[in-house]
Structure 1
Amino acid sequence: MKRASFADLYRPRAFGEVYGQASVVDCLSSLIQRGQIGRDILLHGSVGSGKTSLAWIYARALNCEAPQADGSPCLTCDTCRGCDRPGPDGNPCGRCGPCRQKDGQAIAGLHSYNVGRKGGSRALVTAWTEPLVRTTPRHRYKILFYDEAHALRPDACDGLLELVEQSENRVLFFFATTEVDKIRPALRSRLFDLLVRPLSPDDAYRFLEVQARKARPPEPPLDYEPEALALLAGLRRGLPRDLLLGLDRVHEPGTRLTVARVRAAFDADQTEPLLTYFGALAEGDLAAQTALMAGWQESVNDKIAWIQAFLLSLYANDIRHRRLRVDGLIDAIPEGDRAPILVRFCQRLNLRKPADLAETWHRMMDFWSWPAQRLAKPDRAGDIALSLRVALFHRLVNDDLRAECGRNVEDRSDSIAPVHTLNQHGPTVTLPSRGFGEAPPSPVDCTAGVASEDPQYLTAADARAIVNRASFLMQEYGALFNTAFVVRPGLLGTTSEADSIALIDAFGEALADQVRAWGGPLSARLTLFVREGREVYGRLVAHLPRPGPGQAGGDCLARAPDWRRAWIARHGSSGEDAVVQETAGTDDAAALAFHWDNTLGLCAGLDPEILDWDPRVGACKSLVSLLGIQRQQGLGPIVGHPLVHAPGPLSDTAIARACVNRLEPLSAFDDRVWGELRSGWELREFEDRRATRRERERQLSTLSARHGPDSDEASDLVRRWSDDPKRRPRRWATWW
């Protein structure tokens, strides 16, 4: 019995079987779900990316008698299923119910024309098309599918344009092409444009994993090293057909698929020079670095691309411990070969552990933050320019990094500049704080008769945490959120929820690390993880320092756009849509409005049925309305991860630490004075809070000098201070 090839086994017949094309699948499946709506479509992408499979699934679903809930064809009705009684040669019988439904077509209502094989002249295309357009469709839709549509001549495109515009709604035109620019703009403008992308490294690996686990009689599922599939995923460009042909190429029945076999089959042997070169970087050995670069049999551009990829992989996976697939060849490098490189870097730079290498790695990645091709042309002058760049990189690694690592690396948290300073020999008495503590009860139970909240969606507790943390930033530090980011991992090739969240977190951490490297005294951020359709993205609001005249520290806000573009480039994209940034205005009113517009905007996913008490009208009202925001609809669940992330100075621990000795914060949200949320009272409270802290520290210092730092007198003084923040003295008109 001849075994089936992997490519033969992969014939997706439902939307759920299509890998890595979330946006295209969402578009087509939603058309079916909304009532089997037909559209003229243009599918374009690389050879073997799955364009034809998507066209066939959509065509089947359009004429299916009972589509599935996700929009896929049912595959069981007479319109969907194949012949009931095929002949000995496998050909359909032509007499059973499914055969009569299809009139000789493989898919009911679908008529295919391969332009590359049959010709793309206007005469040939029109001769095939017009009879089909003139006859009445037997099914809900008659679908004309033009494969290899880039072979259409310009006059044929013009003729099809007329037919597309004149045909009745029950006749649809599908086009698939690898060269979309060859489709006349006028025709393309009438079509639903769908780009079929190569699979991301993660999706390509998962795709191969699923196919490898399928039994192929008479053989059992494939036995493989995971690193071998990761390597194959990177080598085959993320195209499903190429991936499966590659799997057929390296598979030998009855044996385990190994990294060595994949490397041998595709002559992929870049890891040895790459590892040796990084070992020389770790040792700071200039002679070895220079010799290895000279002997590495690749173009300078390609060498730099390998360096960039391995730097990113080591940073994400081994320093930050955030799983990120970068390149199949890089991902296949085992931990036993990666870890010694980081250990040797730590030894040379006097660092305790690989996690302490984060800022060192930022310097190296920033150095290569532009794509190599952007600098050099593939000629001798370009190679010389890149070789000079490599020499400067060696100087950075060998000399500059060692000089920088003399400073303290103990504190790796989001650092803040305290607004108060205690003498190191001053009082040590501290009374712990609850920070904002538990949410106070509502005067009236607004949850009666309302379904309990689902933690996979935004809750009232999430909204409280967001608003109170933004308020605390102002009360404690006198600072505002002055920039906002939207991070879309999907545009960087990351599609799973866990990997998207990890990449969003990595962006926030890298931003905080960079602010420290710039000398910024305070960085703070809030992150909201959002699911919209199949996409998971992050919304961040942040405070980046912008010192005034005579103040120390770098202008981090002004430098952030260039850093953002460099971060995007490091993660494999040349477009800027992967991370979009917005910055606050400079005048006080605009800055305050930006702070609260973007903070409260994080709460836009709240269910309008979540209610809270409004003392102004004496009734329960929608929290969305009370916050004065417009609800964002169509958001999905985030599974297994909190929706709101507040690290550093806005974490629960940091807030409680800043509120010791009875300096609990105020909360307009908890007091339900909804009209004060945006008023900016916190900036006046900041001055009074600072004055109170200084006075209390003065009193404690006096008692410490008289009775010692841990005296009963000092403890009694702290306990006499009220834990009700409203009882502290103030100079501004309060709401109570």
Structure 2
Amino acid sequence: MSDYIVSARKYRPDSFGALLGQDNIARTLKNSIKRGQVAHAYLFCGPRGVGKTSTARIFAKTINCSDPGPDLDPCGKCDSCQSFEEGRSYNIHELDAASNNSVDDIRTLLDQVQIPPQVGKYSVYIIDEVHMLSQQAFNAFLKTLEEPPAHAVFILCTTEKHKIIPTILSRCQTYDFNRISIPDMMKNLREIAAKEGVKIDDESLHVIAQKADGAMRDALTLFDQTVAFCGTDVKYADVIRNLGVLDYEYNFSLVDAFLAGDYAKSLLLFDEILNKGFNALHFLGALSNHLRDLLVAGTGGLDALLDQADSLKPRYLDQAKRCSVKFLYDALGIIGECEAGYKLSSNQRLHIEYALMKLSFLVKMPSAF
């Protein structure tokens, strides 16, 4: 049997200091422990893969740790910490509400709540995907959540806060987790790549981070997939081929063609993109994002909004200098209209080709006209 562990598990945060992009939440939770103000119910909400369950585990370990560090990190050596790491803890319990969502499951949990912890101060109950509980299960949970035993702490985790009933929300301290920024994800991936002996450039890291859409767990999964495909020497061309990402060179070439009024070249580039198997709507999305980035790059004071690898920023600045704001504004309007009418069109390819011709005529009309 293989000893391989996926990166999302191997590099899962195990201390407040290791949490990525959630500094305010980590600070608040640490302060509540320092001051002895541990609440009886917490609600962690936010997108997938941003550290909700990891934070719940770290918090549960810390409040039960007999010798936390100066920065309130679990010691990893006491009986409570070791039993949790070995999966035999009797005072930190996890329930997946997606598969245990009936009223009977909650009643079983509530019976368990009455039992005091064997080791440590608290019995912590981490309920993941809590929005999946049935209405009857929520109702059965209410009274205990309002007046739990002194030793009980509930941590509810969800990606869909709007599905939690108001009576549950009012009984919890709510923490909203942020999406992880692209620079933070790139920094974390770079450190992990160094530990794993993987050579990877910033452009490849940026593609992985951008495709992960703010979820560090997704980024680590994509990183593993990339390493499986490329080996320990990762190249940008291999990454975009493996992850099905459109090469940014196409967008730069298309905008150059629009500026030159070369509609023939834009149609040939579009044909090449389709022949590589890319979805036409994804192509439109990538092109509109590129135009948006050009607008940001060419406008003073908006540098922070340009989410691109440092090696690419000079190219965006260079092309942005050749694009007027009116051109970019009109181009974004044409693409928006094209996207809106795409599904209704009886000839979708022609629909996009017509939009590409309109984009090519924004700056320079052909002489035959």
Fold equivalence (TM over 0.5): yes
Question: Whose Rg is larger?
Answer: 1
Q: Deviations over 1:585-606 (max 9, x none)?
A: xxxxxxxxxxxxxxxxxxxxxx
Which residue number corresponds to residue 116 of structure 2?
Answer: 136
CA distance in 2, matches of 1:125, 1:250: 41
- In the alignment, structure 1 residue 112 sits paired with structure 2 residue 111: no
Question: Partner letter of residue 172 of structure 1?
Answer: V
Contact kept, 8 Å, 1:201 with 1:325, in 2: the verdict is no
Contact kept, 8 Å, 1:271 with 1:333, in 2: the verdict is no
Contact kept, 8 Å, 1:44 with 1:176, in 2: the verdict is yes
1:51-130 residue pairs with structure 2 within 5 A?
A: 51-81=52-82, 104-105=88-89, 109-117=91-99, 119-129=100-110
Q: Deviations over 1:326-348 (max 9, x none)?
A: 56xx6498579x47x94xx6xxx
Which residue number corresponds to residue 305 of structure 1?
Answer: 285
CA distance in 1, matches of 2:97, 2:180: 26
SS in 2 for 1:136: coil
Contact kept, 8 Å, 1:311 with 1:361, in 2: the verdict is no
Contact kept, 8 Å, 2:45 with 2:175, in 1: the verdict is yes
Question: Partner letter of residue 283 of structure 1?
Answer: A
- In the alignment, structure 1 residue 222 sits paired with structure 2 residue 206: no
Which residue number corresponds to residue 376 of structure 1?
Answer: 340
CA distance in 2, matches of 1:390, 1:188: 49
Which residue number corresponds to residue 448 of structure 1?
Answer: none
Contact kept, 8 Å, 1:200 with 1:238, in 2: the verdict is yes
Alpha-carbon deviation of 1:30?
3.0
Which residue number corresponds to residue 261 of structure 1?
Answer: 238
Compared with structure 1, are the counterparts of its residues 41 and 156 closer, same or farther at alpha carbon in structure 2 (3 Å cutoff)? same
CA distance in 1, matches of 2:281, 2:231: 40
Alpha-carbon deviation of 1:14?
0.8
Query: Identity across aligned pairs (percent)?
Result: 23
Contact kept, 8 Å, 1:6 with 1:244, in 2: the verdict is yes
Question: Partner letter of residue 225 of structure 1?
Answer: D
CA distance in 1, matches of 2:236, 2:301: 23
Alpha-carbon deviation of 1:284?
3.1
CA distance in 2, matches of 1:370, 1:110: 55
Q: Deviations over 1:595-630 (max 9, x none)?
A: xxxxxxxxxxxxxxxxxxxxxxxxxxxxxxxxxxxx
Alpha-carbon deviation of 1:394?
3.9
Compared with structure 1, are the counterparts of its residues 335 and 361 closer, same or farther at alpha carbon in structure 2 (3 Å cutoff)? same
Alpha-carbon deviation of 1:280?
0.5
Alpha-carbon deviation of 1:306?
1.8
CA distance in 1, matches of 2:222, 2:183: 17
Which residue number corresponds to residue 24 of structure 1?
Answer: 25
Contact kept, 8 Å, 2:49 with 2:218, in 1: the verdict is yes
Alpha-carbon deviation of 1:392?
5.3
Compared with structure 1, are the counterparts of its residues 271 and 229 closer, same or farther at alpha carbon in structure 2 (3 Å cutoff)? same
SS in 1 for 2:81: coil
Contact kept, 8 Å, 1:36 with 1:62, in 2: the verdict is no
Alpha-carbon deviation of 1:291?
5.2
Which residue number corresponds to residue 398 of structure 1?
Answer: 364
CA distance in 2, matches of 1:371, 1:42: 41
- In the alignment, structure 1 residue 13 sits paired with structure 2 residue 36: no
Alpha-carbon deviation of 1:113?
1.9
Compared with structure 1, are the counterparts of its residues 45 and 61 closer, same or farther at alpha carbon in structure 2 (3 Å cutoff)? same
The runs of 5 or more residues in structure 2 that have no matched partner are none
Q: Which residue of 137, 157, 168 maps to 1:156?
A: 137
CA distance in 2, matches of 1:174, 1:227: 38
Q: Which residue of 249, 252, 258 maps to 1:275?
A: 252
Contact kept, 8 Å, 2:246 with 2:286, in 1: the verdict is no
Q: Which residue of 282, 289, 304 maps to 2:266?
A: 289
Q: Which residue of 198, 212, 215 maps to 1:239?
A: 215
Question: Partner letter of residue 42 of structure 2?
Answer: I
Q: Deviations over 1:355-387 (max 9, x none)?
A: x55xx4533444438994998266226979988
Contact kept, 8 Å, 1:280 with 1:289, in 2: the verdict is yes
Question: Partner letter of residue 133 of structure 1?
Answer: V
Alpha-carbon deviation of 1:68?
3.9
CA distance in 2, matches of 1:309, 1:285: 21
CA distance in 1, matches of 2:338, 2:36: 48
CA distance in 1, matches of 2:31, 2:205: 33
Compared with structure 1, are the counterparts of its residues 124 and 294 closer, same or farther at alpha carbon in structure 2 (3 Å cutoff)? same
CA distance in 2, matches of 1:374, 1:31: 52
Contact kept, 8 Å, 1:21 with 1:196, in 2: the verdict is yes
Compared with structure 1, are the counterparts of its residues 213 and 169 closer, same or farther at alpha carbon in structure 2 (3 Å cutoff)? same
1:624-663 residue pairs with structure 2 within 5 A?
A: none
What is the alpha-carbon root mean square deviation over aligned residues? Answer: 3.9
Alpha-carbon deviation of 1:277?
0.9
Q: Deviations over 1:437-471 (max 9, x none)?
A: xxxxxxxxxxxxxxxxxxxxxxxxxxxxxxxxxxx
Q: Deviations over 1:459-487 (max 9, x none)?
A: xxxxxxxxxxxxxxxxxxxxxxxxxxxxx
CA distance in 1, matches of 2:356, 2:227: 39
1:170-181 residue pairs with structure 2 within 5 A?
A: 170-181=151-162
Question: Partner letter of residue 344 of structure 2?
Answer: R
Compared with structure 1, are the counterparts of its residues 265 and 321 closer, same or farther at alpha carbon in structure 2 (3 Å cutoff)? farther
CA distance in 2, matches of 1:157, 1:163: 11
Compared with structure 1, are the counterparts of its residues 361 and 210 closer, same or farther at alpha carbon in structure 2 (3 Å cutoff)? farther
SS in 2 for 1:111: strand
Question: Partner letter of residue 251 of structure 1?
Answer: V
SS in 2 for 1:43: strand
- In the alignment, structure 1 residue 251 sits paired with structure 2 residue 217: no
Compared with structure 1, are the counterparts of its residues 27 and 5 closer, same or farther at alpha carbon in structure 2 (3 Å cutoff)? same
Alpha-carbon deviation of 1:19?
1.1
Contact kept, 8 Å, 1:305 with 1:372, in 2: the verdict is no
CA distance in 1, matches of 2:338, 2:257: 27
Alpha-carbon deviation of 1:54?
0.8
1:498-517 residue pairs with structure 2 within 5 A?
A: none
Contact kept, 8 Å, 1:309 with 1:326, in 2: the verdict is no
CA distance in 2, matches of 1:269, 1:7: 26
